A and B are shown apart, each in its own frame.
Chain A
Amino acid sequence: MSQVTKSKKSDLNTAFTDNFSQFVQELSANAPLSNVRQKAIEHFASVGLPSGKAEEYKYTPIARALEKHFTERDTLPANDPLSSEAESGVRQFLLNTDANHLVFVNGRYHEELSVIVSPEDELRVCPLGEAYKQYAQVIDRYFSSEATIESDPFVALNTAYAQGGVFVHTPKSKTVKHPVICYFISDTASQSIMAHPRNLFVVEENAHVKFAEIFHTIGEGASYNNAVTEIIIDRYAHVHYYKYENESTQAYHTGTTQVKQQDNSHFHAVNISLQGAMIRNNLNIALDAEHCESHMYGLYMLDGNTHVDNHTVVDHQKPNAFSNELYKGIINDKARGVFNGKIYVRQDAQKTNAFQSNANILLSDDASVDTKPQLEIWADDVKCSHGATTGQIDQEQLFYLRTRGLTKIQARAVLLKAFAGDVIQHIGIDALREKIEAQISERLEQ
């Protein structure tokens, strides 16, 4: 008979709830948000982390994974100062480009590593902790207004424990010359890390701005980032938003990006996931006015045991809006991809154009993907389409390139780069795009 050993499971639900008061005590000068936090933890206490049966987390048993890899004590934020090795480790992640660079390590803002170059009349940018003091009114108005605590247990948890993250406010008609790049680094060299970054981007009428959120890890320990970003886009504004995840194989991530668009606004999102233990990205866009335009691109290029789950929701509430979504997966080894894309077209939203496509290439017998496009349409005069494909690398194309002298590895790299290129080309910060391209090339040319 085989012996069964029960692995130790932490009770994180209780730990998060019990540790909350200690966490709030240690936070200072956060009076404006204490009510919101309190409500959030109460809600979290009532729902808990999603169980294996929860429909939205069916393919991604993140709660179970967290209970296995983290202890109750990990639920309190780390307070250790940054070691000099960690500091140089962080510096290597910074992109060499003129931009506002905001660096967070283990949920704390590091001013000495950060650079803010945009003038204040063009862009107000500061870590959320500072912003409470200066922009209480704007924050009170928008914080937790779109990413509501009832929408998802992880959003509730983030709202209670939000620490580290950026507040960005772009005034009316300003074109922000330098992008805002936020780095969320987990330094796990000496301990397991949990962090709850919270970003709030408020873009006023007719303003133009680009954001990036970058997630990396230092060290071999376990890390968990539970991020929430709210993006409020006023009329005629243009926002580009890039999320890039390339972490250690012990890094867990849940993230919700909640977007609200007003009339004639444009939103472009590109989400690139290259490595982690288990990553769940929610991208939810509410098109609450006419003539909005949204573009969503995603690439998950996975190997080893990495698990990446992308859930997107586009909610067409008003007429004459356009949305287009293209998510692509390249999955190797025992890695797993999940794609769930929902498009809602409400009864009011006549003349909606909504398109969605998900394409996957599986490179090994053990790689897998679960893809579920969902379209729900209540209006009767719309153009909508969705589709999903999963296949292998095209042998004809591979043979063709090899008859020209390319090695099997080169030919495969050419084909997969072209496949990924449809997504990557939409990254409008050159240094970020080039870095991701280099990362992908390196992986393909191994």
Chain B
Amino acid sequence: MRMLKINNLKAKIEDKAILNGINLEVKAGEVHAIMGPNGSGKSTLASVLAGREEFEVTDGSIEYLGSDLLEKDPDERAREGIFLAFQYPVEIPGVSTTNFLKTALNQIRQHKGQDPLDAVSFLKMMKEKMKLVEIDQSLLSRSLNEGFSGGEKKRNEIFQMAMLEPKLAILDETDSGLDIDALRIVAGGVNKLKTKDNATIVVTHYQRLLDYIVPDYVHVLYNGRIVKSGNKDLALELEEKGYDWIKETADSATA
């Protein structure tokens, strides 16, 4: 089943064009990796999918589950199953994960036509999902991300993903700032959440994460375009050769 179809997507921030015609199709059950050098537009693509308002879409379209995604507010997208794991999760003093997650979950359940969860079922579900990312309950009652280590922040993102059960998860540089143990835990969590009905887009600079979350497709982004696509071997090739050869090929093609 086709989940996402991005067609000739162009986006800018202020007067700077960042995405210059992205084409991408994602089907249920697939894992896509978006790789590319710094400044190539990877995080922008993730942000535009989640509905960040600073980016202005100037051309193209995004179709998600048969409807126009760009028409929708960030929270509508979330209720329809899109989840963004932030590269830099935001600190929110005075608001704990448990504090807002119940409202979030019940919004999503209501959208699906399900009854809201009561406090007991919510707690039970939390306990189950906490195991997935080996997160401690005390962390979930603290002010969100305030004083969290890099690993705690990323685990908390994946914990929220586990709770909200998205159809399309976008992991924006989830590996950045993680040591190898934390990386293994986070990736393990993501893998356990994978089903034939959901899809994942993994945005990353390095191949390392893809040892743990094995992609079906790898796309290389450069200057706001996908300049090369392949399978997981492409990621290994990039790891070995760096991004320069991609840049050279792309630059000579446009010259």
Inter-chain contact A406/B50, CB cutoff 8 Å? no
* Bound complex: CA A401 to CA B99 (Å): 11
Binary contact track B59-71/A, C-beta < 8 Å → 1, others 0: 0000000000000
Partner of A419, one of B50, B94, B99: B94
- B231 CB within 8 Å of chain A: no
Interface SS of chain B: helix
Cβ of A403: which chain B residues have Cβ within 8 Å of it?
50-51, 74-75, 77-78, 82-84, 86
Q: Closest CB-CB distance, A31 to chain B, in whole Å?
A: 53
B89 at the interface (CB under 8 A from A): yes
Contact yes or no, A406 B94, CB < 8 A: no
* Interface residues as binary, A383-417 with B (CB distance below 8 Å gives 1, 0 otherwise): 00000000000101101111111111011001101
Shortest Cβ distance from B80 into A: residue: A405
Known: A414-B95, A415-B95, A418-B95. Is A405-B75 also a contact (CB below 8 A)?
Answer: yes
For chain B, give the interface size range: 20 to 34
Indicate the size class of the contact surface on chain A.
Answer: 20 to 34
Contact A415 B74 (CB under 8 A): no
A135 shortest CB reach to chain B, Å: 44
Choice from B53, B86, B103, B108 contacting A400 with Cβ under 8 Å: B86
> Which residues 163-208 of B have a CB within 8 angstroms of A?
164
| Per-residue contact bits, chain B 106-134, to A (CB 8 Å; 1 contact, 0 not) | 01100100000000000000000000000
Asked if A414 contacts B50 (CB within 8 A), the reply is no
Taking a contact as CB atoms closer than 8 A, the residue among A405, A410, A418, A422 that contacts B92 in the complex is A418
- A421 proximal to B (CB < 8 A): yes
Nearest B residue to A407 via CB reads: B75
- Partner among A399, A404, A407, A414 whose Cβ is within 8 Å of the Cβ of B164: A404
- Interface assignment of B93: CB less than 8 Å from any CB of chain A: yes
Q: Which residue of B lies closest to A404 (CB)?
A: B104
Whether the Cβ atoms of B100 and A401 lie closer than 8 Å is yes
Residues of A within 8 A of B95 (CB): 414-415, 418
Q: Give the chain A neighbours of B79 by CB distance below 8 A.
A: 405
B84 touches A406 (CB 8 A): no
The answer on a CB contact under 8 Å between A405 and B78 is yes
CB distance from B161 to the nearest CB of A (A): 10
Residues of B within 8 A of A414 (CB): 95, 99-100, 103
A-side contacts of B90, CB under 8 Å? 394, 396-397, 399-400
Residues in A whose Cβ lies below 8 Å from that of B73: 402, 408
Query: Which chain A residues lie closer than 8 Å to B101 at the CB level?
Result: 404
Q: Known contacts A415-B92, A422-B94; decide if A402 and B78 are in contact (CB<8 Å).
A: yes
Q: Which of A399, A410, A419, A421 contacts B52 (CB 8 A)?
A: A399
Query: Which B residues are in CB contact (< 8 Å) with A396?
Result: 90
In the assembled complex, B20 has its CB within 8 A of some CB on chain A: no
Inter-chain contacts of A407 with B (CB < 8 A): 75, 107
* Interchain nearest-CB distance for B91 vs A (Å): 8
CB-defined contacts of B83 to chain A, threshold 8 Å:
403
B94 touches A404 (CB 8 A): no
Whole-angstrom CA separation of A353 from B252 in the bound complex: 67
Shortest B76–chain A CB gap in Å is: 9
The 8 closest A-B CB pairs, nearest first, are A418-B94, A405-B78, A404-B104, A402-B74, A402-B75, A400-B90, A405-B107, A405-B104
Interface of A with B (CB < 8 Å)? 394, 396-397, 399-408, 410-411, 414-415, 417-419, 421-422
28 contacts between A and B (CB under 8 A): A399-B53, A399-B74, A400-B90, A401-B92, A401-B104, A402-B73, A402-B74, A403-B50, A403-B51, A403-B74, A403-B83, A403-B84, A404-B100, A404-B104, A404-B160, A404-B164, A405-B75, A405-B79, A405-B107, A405-B164, A406-B75, A406-B107, A414-B100, A414-B103, A415-B95, A418-B93, A418-B94, A418-B95
List 5 other contacts, CB 8 Å, given A404-B160, A406-B104. Answer: A396-B90, A402-B74, A405-B78, A405-B105, A407-B75
